[in-house]
Amino acid sequence: MCGISGILSLNGKPISEIDTRIKKMTKTLYHRGPDQQGVHISKKKNFAMSQNRLSIVDPKKFFDLPLSKNGNEFLSFNGEIYNHVDLKKNLINKGIKFSTNCDQEVLYEFLKEFKSERLSELNGVWAFAFYNEQRNNLLLSRDLMGERHIFFSISKNEIIFSSEIKSILAGSVNNYEFDFESLLDSWKFYASSPGKTLLKNVFKLKPGHNLKVENGKVDIFQFQKINPRKWLDFFLRNPKPEKVEEEFQKIFEEEVQIRIPNEVKNFTCFSGGIDSTLYTHFLKKFEKNPNTLFQVSSNDQLLGIVQSADEKIVELEFAKNLSNKIGTNHSVDYMSIENSKIVVNELQSFSKECFEGAIDPGNVNYSLLGKFVNKNGGKVLTMSEGPDELLGGYIADIEANKIDDIFGRFKSLNKLAKLDFIKSILNNFLKLEKNNEFEFSYKPFYSRVNHLVCPNKTLGKFFPENLFINKKFDFGVLDKDYEDLIDELDYSQLRALIYASKTLPDMYNFRADKAMMKNSVEVRLPYQAVTLVEFFIAMPRKYRFQGNWGKNFLRNYCKKYVDKNVSRRRKYGMGYDLFRQNTSKSFLTEVEEVIRNTNFFSNFPFKKNTINKILDHRTHPGNRWSAYCLINTYNSLSKINENNI
């Protein structure tokens, strides 16, 4: 994992102050790569590129950054190519020689040999920049599941790009403005829509896409798509459970093994839930005594959580006992509940740099995990993100499955769901918690995603309804690139595809990447291996839902092969909201003061009484957190713009 940045002149002319600007960008990304840094500036001063390296593969080997072996082609790389050993063998057979065991050198030679034509052969995660100085051509690329990120801005005959927007702001000579559409998205979903950010003219490259600059012209295109079709026939044949389990084991074993970092200390998140337990079960086949980690972010995890009417679970003890049973070197991170000052500092720091639009307070939980891993000598943290989105683990998706049985079969009834008295009847009948606003439709298909944190009813307290009421927010809509699959997938499969192509890349994966890399820790997400994602999406809904339970396939697998008690675990989430859980009264007072004493709301089309509505005790406190982050980030941007004048 690393940090990349660069500036390219689109007309070939020298770039003003290029040396100073690229150095500022590199310095801003130090936390992403404290082991090694390097800068290349072309002789014509029309291009500059840097890389900050966090050494994971061949960590003791140092080489010039960005990587070049001929003085003409340069590669700045953020990510890991998990199948680099096999790719290297194929390239050696072509007569190519290597001087390191690093995956970056393999990617460099792969790009020299195949350009951008065979990127789907890479099993890995990446955001990279590959530059040909003689031709003044640039290629930017982002992996299909969007585990790595790259931002860019184009203006005044320049394209400037980086792993983080803060770096773009440090190296830019332009001033930037808030994008109101993205502000709405962030308030509603805790994230900006795919491809967008909170800033006008600063964009995020979409997952599975390339950006090419040739002869001064910019072209953005998709190079790979998620393809569940390869498994649809398999499931249509109604295979026996043992056959499905066999295919799952085959895929997951290979993807787990290839993602184990063998040269640096690493940790695995372990909550004792289905996903982390299954991952650790597979990990034990290849690693004798893995380091597992449990984060305590609430006293509930110490005192107990009601699992059912007659059962209470103490998460901390459950995870500890299970780790002993499986055989891991288990650690517990108490930082979130033992040091409120650190929590407050993290909350304050995070709130000032939400330029990407990702304002989920869970970022702070993840950042504290990263601190623990770094403090204890680790460089990699493996997390089990993905199954809840792909296999219906959230309450919102379990409820959506119930709604499908009524409205999915009789689409003509959709309009009735908009009537308040029908909503009331259905809410009581189906006992809905998350979908009680019925923000969904079937024709066209629009679904409520789990991270919809501010429904339209609440959004209407702060913004005039005409600004959003008829807006189909991107996160709930199937991407146009996948519309050809609509008639081939059931509703649960469509939701899984939406999650895989939008929510995972631009919400949850970004959260994990930003929070961990703040602490120089790489995050790995084995459940998001493309092969496994495609397999999970293709599963019909019977593999997802049974009564009030989600992730039916993984529950059954866990019950059969791992632990019966784990298979009955409910979904608790990895961390509790530290904004409300473990903060001081003085901090909460600060939040209210920031909201009261700002001109932020007057710069956008908020309703006149928005501040009072946000601070009203009847309004969900998550809206105070949203306002606090957006205000502080807006103020940070204003200061940066002032310095550029």
For residues 526 and 2, the model is more confident at: 526
Residues 224-270: pLDDT tens digits?
A: 999 999 999 999 999 999 999 999 999 999 999 999 999 999 999 99
Least confident range from 148-157, 443-452, 582-591, 629-638: namely 582-591
- Specify whether the CB–CB gap between 387 and 275 falls below 8 A: yes
For position 427, what pLDDT does the model report? 81
What is the rounded distance in angstroms from the CA atom of residue 14 to the CA atom of residue 47?
8
Instruction: Work out the percent of the chain whose per-residue pLDDT is above 90.
Output: 82
For residues 440 and 591, the model is more confident at: 591
Cβ neighbors of 363 (< 8 A, separation 6 or more) are 350, 511, 514, 515
For residues 569 and 101, the model is more confident at: 101
Confidence of residue 286 (pLDDT cuts 50, 70, 90): very high
Encoded tokens for 132? 């040909």
What is the SS3 assignment for 451? coil
Q: Which DSSP letter does residue 67 get?
A: B
Residue 308 has pLDDT above 60, yes or no: no
Least confident range from 210-219, 527-536, 559-568, 569-578: namely 569-578
Which whole number is the average pLDDT over 196-201? 98
Cβ neighbors of 184 (< 8 A, separation 6 or more) are 459, 463, 467, 468, 471
Least confident range from 284-298, 420-434, 479-493, 568-582: namely 568-582
Confidence of residue 85 (pLDDT cuts 50, 70, 90): very high
Least confident range from 295-304, 451-460, 635-644: namely 295-304
Residues 478-510: pLDDT tens digits?
A: 999 999 999 999 999 999 999 999 999 999 999
For residues 300 and 385, the model is more confident at: 385
Encoded tokens for 279? 């991952």
For position 430, what pLDDT does the model report? 83
Which whole number is the average pLDDT over 173-190? 96
Confidence of residue 412 (pLDDT cuts 50, 70, 90): low
Residue 341 has pLDDT above 80, yes or no: yes
Residue 359 has pLDDT above 70, yes or no: yes
Which of 57, 45, 51 lies closest to 26, judged by CA? 51
Q: Please tell me the total number of residues recorded for the chain in this structure.
A: 645
Rounded to 5, what percent of the chain is helix, strand, coil? Answer: 45, 15, 35
For position 310, what pLDDT does the model report? 53
For position 78, what pLDDT does the model report? 97
What is the rounded distance in angstroms from the CA atom of residue 68 to the CA atom of residue 42?
13
What is the rounded distance in angstroms from the CA atom of residue 445 to the CA atom of residue 205?
25
Residues 593-604: pLDDT tens digits?
A: 999 999 999 999
Confidence of residue 631 (pLDDT cuts 50, 70, 90): very high
Which whole number is the average pLDDT over 577-597? 86
Q: What is the DSSP annotation of 463-527?
A: S-GGGTTT---GGGB--GGGGGGGGGS-HHHHHHHHIIIIIIIIIIHHHHHHHHHTTT-EEE-GG
Backbone angles phi, psi at 394, to 5 degrees: -90, 150
Instruction: Work out the percent of the chain whose per-residue pLDDT is above 70.
Output: 96
Element (DSSP H or E) covering residue 124:
strand 124-132
Q: What is the DSSP annotation of 539-567?
A: S-GGGT-BTTB--HHHHHHHHHHT-HHHH
For position 604, what pLDDT does the model report? 97
What is the rounded distance in angstroms from the CA atom of residue 426 to the CA atom of residue 469?
22
What is the rounded distance in angstroms from the CA atom of residue 517 to the CA atom of residue 511?
10
What is the rounded distance in angstroms from the CA atom of residue 444 to the CA atom of residue 153?
33
For position 307, what pLDDT does the model report? 57
Which of 192, 79, 227, 54 lies closest to 146, judged by CA? 79
Q: Which DSSP letter does residue 389 get?
A: H
For residues 287 and 412, the model is more confident at: 287
What is the SS3 assignment for 587? helix
What is the rounded distance in angstroms from the CA atom of residue 33 to the CA atom of residue 549?
42
Which whole number is the average pLDDT over 177-195? 96
For position 389, what pLDDT does the model report? 97
Element (DSSP H or E) covering residue 429:
helix 420-430
CA distances from 421 to 425, 428, 431, 446 (A): 6, 11, 15, 22
For position 645, what pLDDT does the model report? 61
Other beta carbons within 10 angstroms of residue 240's beta carbon come to: 9
Residue type, 266: N
Which whole number is the average pLDDT over 192-198? 96
The structure tokens 């932020």 sit at 600
What is the rounded distance in angstroms from the CA atom of residue 180 to the CA atom of residue 188?
12
For position 304, what pLDDT does the model report? 66
Least confident range from 400-414, 460-474, 492-506: namely 400-414
- Specify whether the CB–CB gap between 167 and 5 falls below 8 A: yes
- Specify whether the CB–CB gap between 24 and 52 falls below 8 A: no
Q: Which DSSP letter does residue 178 get?
A: B
Other beta carbons within 10 angstroms of residue 560's beta carbon come to: 12
Residues in a beta bridge with 73: 132
